[in-house]
Structure 1
Amino acid sequence: MLQEGAHGKWTVSSSDESTEENSDSDKPCTSALLEAARGKTSGPQYPCSEARKAAHKRKASPLKLGDKSFSTQVSPAAKQRTSQEGSGWCLSSSDEEPEDQEKHVHKEALKEEKNDAPEERPLNPHKDDDLENQKAEEYNETHSEAQDTWDLLNGGNPFRFFLTKVRGIEQSYNSGALHIKDILSPLFGTLVSSAQFNYCIDVGWLVRQYPQEFRKKPLLIVHGEKRESKAELIAQARPYENISFCQAKLDIAFGTHHTKMMLLLYEEGLRVVIHTSNLIAEDWHQKTQGIWLSPLYPRLPQGAASSGESETNFKSDLVSYLMAYNSPALKEWIDLIQEHDLSETRVYLLGSTPGRYQGSDKERWGHLRLRKLLKEHASSAPAKESWPVLGQFSSIGSLGVDGSKWLCSEFLESLVAARSNATTHLKCDVPVHLVYPTVNNVRQSLEGYPAGGSLPYSIQTAQKQLWLHSYFHKWSAEVSGRSHAMPHIKTYMRPSPDFQKIAWFLVTSANLSKAAWGALEKNGSQLMIRSYELGVLFLPSAFGLDKGYFHVRGKMLSESNDSATYFPVPFDLPPEQYGSKDQPWIWNIPYTDAPDTHGNMWVPS
């Protein structure tokens, strides 16, 4: 089928037109694993998406401007097929899953490596930096002084919300940021065991992020891989006897295990980390990611009268989320959480789990869970009813032929909920701002075009919902020094019309999709969710702010307000709407008109 739209003419085969797409269009594809099995090295050595596979390929084999050794007549997307078996895998026509294909097992050395950042070309394409010097510099930048990290954790950050460190920006912007090695540092506790929940996992790299003395401690990896990608994940872990697995059930087509969480048990207590990064080097290198780091939860004394529950009900909600996996492998962690005092938690847990929910169960997960929390705890005032909503994300699913199908109906109704708010017939009277990188944002980023491998918005989806693009705003993050570090973070909030206040803030793994947030079925009597997602909601009331909002540090905000009420929104407010020449980044079409920051073009196949 020949389609023409804002992105030009592209041939799209009928098999590409799936009825539903998950939150990242990024269920692992077997083709990368098969390439590894055949001894090819262009692809990553762990299960990943087609978009990330393309980014690996372009990093390994860059194309300079003017290179004529390729053809752009047919979109690479036309070569993809969507599996009809409910696994959500992407199978290219040339890789039809041989039954007994041998796996290439990439056994990671257990010695300490100086640097685990992905190899890349120098940031300055005109300067031939020595790679080893670059690696040494990376190591020094990534690892803060121990005392600085301790001060950061116990200093003036009441929200416990952090960004990840980014190589290639001014170090002042990394002073309040964390690397995964910081999180797993002995400074935070003497580790006894840990559980890592994630989507994309490089086991060898993950092990090397733990301090040497903790690398043989029990580690449970919770994942959603199936079949060949599951076999590859298990193969990665063979050198490590301390690693065990829990496979999350994904019984609804196009679902993913997208949750990103760490459970860290110490001799001194327990810590929960909810974040947005995959467990691969690229996601902790030059991307904007978010982290919520819990306090250190002490063990409850035997016979304690208190249950250790917080005012936000975080403990029971976390237990409920873990119980939804229905896995014996998680029972130990459920019991451990019950034995600790989580009363100091000041955020609300907001998760999604796959299933079809009716009655009171509808409000347990997804956007109806957000609606319930806001109705119970978000302050309402007539002036706030016109406050806009803002969503920022790294991928987009199929949302329907117009806004009335989901975005500006059931989803918006959840985002604008508040106490005593009887909003009806919303349509899109409340302004909706959606922040998603433009092609130029990606082109001018620290990583260049390969950064788009973690922004898997596809041409097939985009061409079906051009109406959505009128809501788009550019990624700009001068306030955090991360304008050129592409976002893999996902955030949602309710800002005031002048963008100097926010009524609430959510950081989550959930992208803008029905698969992640859920969609109503059966005349609204049932909520269907495809994926596992997890985030935390910040509400002013939980932080003792009776005004019902947080201040934010924006370009127009005076410095006279109490700094304790500032919420560290990681990008610029107000957001800047797309200009007439701006286009959203779409991963599976070529960009050959202008080079990126490394002097390269983007041709994804």
Structure 2
Amino acid sequence: MSQDSQHGKWTMSSSEDEDDAPAPAVSKPAERPTARALADTNEGSKNMDALIRSSQKSDPIPSTDIKSESSSPAISSKTIGSEARQAAHSNQHNPVKFETKVPSPAVKRKKETEESGWALSSSDDERPDEKASQTKRRSPSPKRKKVEDKRPPSPHGPSYYKEEPEEFFETSLPPENTFRFYLTKVTGIEKKYNNGALHIKEILSPLFGTLKESVQFNYCFDIPWMVQQYPPEFRDKPVMIVHGEKRESKARLIQQAQPYGHIRFCQAKLDIAFGTHHTKMMLLWYEEGFRVVILTSNLIRADWYQKTQGLWLSPLYPRLPEDSPASAGESPTYFKRDLVEYLEAYRSPELAEWIERIKEHDLSETRVYLIGSAPGRYQGADMERWGHLRLRKLLRENTRPILGEEAWPIIGQFSSIGSMGIDKTKWLAAEFQQTLATLGSAKKSSASSETTLHLVYPSVDNVRTSLEGYPAGGSLPYSIQTAQRQLWLHSYFHRWSSESSGRGHAMPHIKTYMRTSPDFTELAWFLVTSANLSKAAWGGLEKNNTQIMVRSYELGVLYLPSAFNMTKFTIQKNPFPATSSSSSFPVPIDLPPQRYSSKDQPWIWNIPYTQAPDTHGNVWVPS
């Protein structure tokens, strides 16, 4: 559906992270705040507060335009994600330069993709514009052609395939990390701030083992780029891709893999509307053993370029002796059992051999808990298998109450936001906050409501001043349709900041949740996960709280002090450069979080921002 505004027409796309049914269509909507009102980042009178007052007087927002995949146009792309992302992605690789006179989105865009090097990330909850690959571009030089002969032209322009210099990558294992929690490397920052971080090429390199076979679970894929991340000696080793694509998008994904005979596919079953296969995990089988990597990055270059991402890297698990009992190789956190149960939830014969491989290895050194989501409706004891009730169960059984715990705030950061209802009591401040506030088995009638909840989500200015500039916002798919239905949420928002780690301008795609002490020096627990702030990811209670419904596949790991023989984690203030093992936890954001000022607005990806240029001299005008 297109909506006229002062900026011309802009597309209202549906989000795959939507939880509620679409609002009734309105054939002739009354006047309401235009996109311009949100886009003006320099005038406080046009900030989100004005939108709140105005929207309360306006008619309902028209319904989003939800299209079945079978009606999708025949378009091609090297990046597979969700269709709601098309309009934003088109703008990302066709930037509009900032001018003294504010341009209109109707103006013919300058074709500057090749000069500006806009390398864009697909987000987890929206799909890139796949028409982009049809844009005309210069033929590569003979030298580049030799390097890229197996890689089709990228919709992001030639810079998409630009390789980092050799000194960017490590030639030895990174410093020992007590928690095995790592950030990914960022191009364009001081080298010391990448010391102790990891790139995908390093994870797949011989530094970590002699690879025999692997599985890549993810949401967005660029298969030619993914293949290039494996070192030459492992590049023809069997790879299975676990995905959630259907119909045309599935056909496009399979077409990407045609040049690579060593790639197989496993399609995740998505039987509930608006669900996605959002899990990001690697299973790596070596001659020396087996390893698991659970992360927040898609398998596209831009997610490993100038984004803040996180991952947990397991120890190298040795093979168990033959004839070991079924209970052998289990960890105190029951990670082996839970990983097998998660893989079994796919109900896919293609994963059977990997389930058996896991059972044949010793995972006893694992000290994190697995928290997954699998689509379905669950009742009884099964309610605590997945989503936020799984987190609640683990916090109830493996933590202890803390004196004055109501003063210990909860902090969540994420890159996408789903629909949570007309007020906070519908989900966020009710069942979800109750889960996040759980400590020990004691019943707390008021602790969850008294506990402060800080939500860290980038502001417009955070995005504008980032390393990527406005294109970073294409990976933060909070839509105007969803935002206007839950304006109450924005009072929770805090700015993104990670200056202490030297990464303050690498926009986050990481998702973490934690409980800290009032002075922000200690942690009660920490979670890194693929799950954004949405009921689709975490699940929502139904039928008078006797059933939970989960739409998507998600996966993360929970750090609890008890698993490390500690009572609390000390927060490590400056995790970079990493020089030696530390018993302090490397929290990836600056604390305390800074609340939005009166002029701050949450980034909304499908409206224009034209009042100030970004770090590349461009503005943001959705097509």
Shared fold per TM-score greater than 0.5: yes
User: Which residues in structure 2 correspond to 1:279-294 (within 5 Å)?
Assistant: 279-294=299-314
Q: Pick closer, same or farther for the CA change 1:182–1:201 going to 2, 3 Å.
A: same
CA contact under 8 A between 2:92 and 2:474: conserved in structure 1?
A: no
1:84 corresponds to which residue? Answer: none
2:275 corresponds to which residue? Answer: 255
Q: Pick closer, same or farther for the CA change 1:541–1:117 going to 2, 3 Å.
A: farther
Q: Pick closer, same or farther for the CA change 1:117–1:227 going to 2, 3 Å.
A: closer
Residue 563 of structure 1: how far off its partner (Å)? 7.5
Q: Pick closer, same or farther for the CA change 1:110–1:501 going to 2, 3 Å.
A: farther
1:60 corresponds to which residue? Answer: 93
The CA distance in 1 between the partners of 2:406 and 2:153, in whole Å, is 46
Residue 564 of structure 1: how far off its partner (Å)? 3.5
- Does 1:274 find its partner at 2:294? yes
Q: Pick closer, same or farther for the CA change 1:131–1:429 going to 2, 3 Å.
A: closer
The CA distance in 2 between the partners of 1:115 and 1:553, in whole Å, is 42
The CA distance in 2 between the partners of 1:334 and 1:595, in whole Å, is 51
- Does 1:412 find its partner at 2:433? yes
- Does 1:179 find its partner at 2:199? yes
The CA distance in 2 between the partners of 1:119 and 1:570, in whole Å, is 31
The CA distance in 2 between the partners of 1:462 and 1:110, in whole Å, is 47
2:62 corresponds to which residue? Answer: 14
Match of 2:533, SS?
A: coil
1:487 corresponds to which residue? Answer: 508
1:81 corresponds to which residue? Answer: none
Q: Pick closer, same or farther for the CA change 1:222–1:433 going to 2, 3 Å.
A: same
The CA distance in 2 between the partners of 1:118 and 1:165, in whole Å, is 22
Of the candidates 149, 162, 179, which is equivalent to residue 159 of structure 1? 179
How large is the Cα RMSD of the aligned pairs?
3.2
CA contact under 8 A between 1:173 and 1:480: conserved in structure 2?
A: yes
CA contact under 8 A between 1:398 and 1:513: conserved in structure 2?
A: yes
Of the candidates 534, 540, 561, which is equivalent to residue 519 of structure 1? 540
Superposed CA offset, 1:55-93 (max 9, x none): 5433432211126663489xxxxxxxxxxxxxx99899x
Residue 382 of structure 1: how far off its partner (Å)? 2.7
The CA distance in 1 between the partners of 2:270 and 2:247, in whole Å, is 12
Residue 549 of structure 1: how far off its partner (Å)? 1.1
1:48 partner amino acid: G
CA contact under 8 A between 1:164 and 1:177: conserved in structure 2?
A: yes
Superposed CA offset, 1:482-524 (max 9, x none): 1100000000000111111110000000000000000000000
Of the candidates 236, 243, 248, which is equivalent to residue 228 of structure 1? 248
The CA distance in 1 between the partners of 2:547 and 2:269, in whole Å, is 20
Superposed CA offset, 1:167-218 (max 9, x none): 0111111001000000000111111100000000111111111011111111
1:585 corresponds to which residue? Answer: 603
- Does 1:430 find its partner at 2:451? yes
The CA distance in 2 between the partners of 1:255 and 1:175, in whole Å, is 37
The CA distance in 1 between the partners of 2:84 and 2:64, in whole Å, is 15
TM-score (norm 2): 0.81
CA contact under 8 A between 1:409 and 1:426: conserved in structure 2?
A: no
Moved more, 591-600 or 49-58: 49-58
TM-score (norm 1): 0.83
- Does 1:206 find its partner at 2:226? yes
Match of 2:389, SS?
A: helix
Residue 112 of structure 1: how far off its partner (Å)? 7.5
- Does 1:601 find its partner at 2:615? no
1:506 corresponds to which residue? Answer: 527
- Does 1:402 find its partner at 2:435? no
Q: Pick closer, same or farther for the CA change 1:119–1:568 going to 2, 3 Å.
A: farther
1:343 partner amino acid: S
Residue 109 of structure 1: how far off its partner (Å)? 9.0
Match of 1:309, SS?
A: coil
The CA distance in 2 between the partners of 1:219 and 1:504, in whole Å, is 34
Residue 416 of structure 1: how far off its partner (Å)? 1.1
2:556 corresponds to which residue? Answer: 535
The CA distance in 2 between the partners of 1:385 and 1:116, in whole Å, is 55
Q: Pick closer, same or farther for the CA change 1:397–1:27 going to 2, 3 Å.
A: farther
Q: Pick closer, same or farther for the CA change 1:17–1:188 going to 2, 3 Å.
A: same
The CA distance in 2 between the partners of 1:573 and 1:221, in whole Å, is 37
Q: Pick closer, same or farther for the CA change 1:181–1:55 going to 2, 3 Å.
A: farther
Give the share of equivalent positions with the same residue, in percent.
61
Give the unaligned 5+ runs of structure 2.
1-28, 38-46, 108-124, 132-143
1:139 corresponds to which residue? Answer: 165
Alignment coverage as a number of residue pairs = 540
CA contact under 8 A between 1:408 and 1:426: conserved in structure 2?
A: no
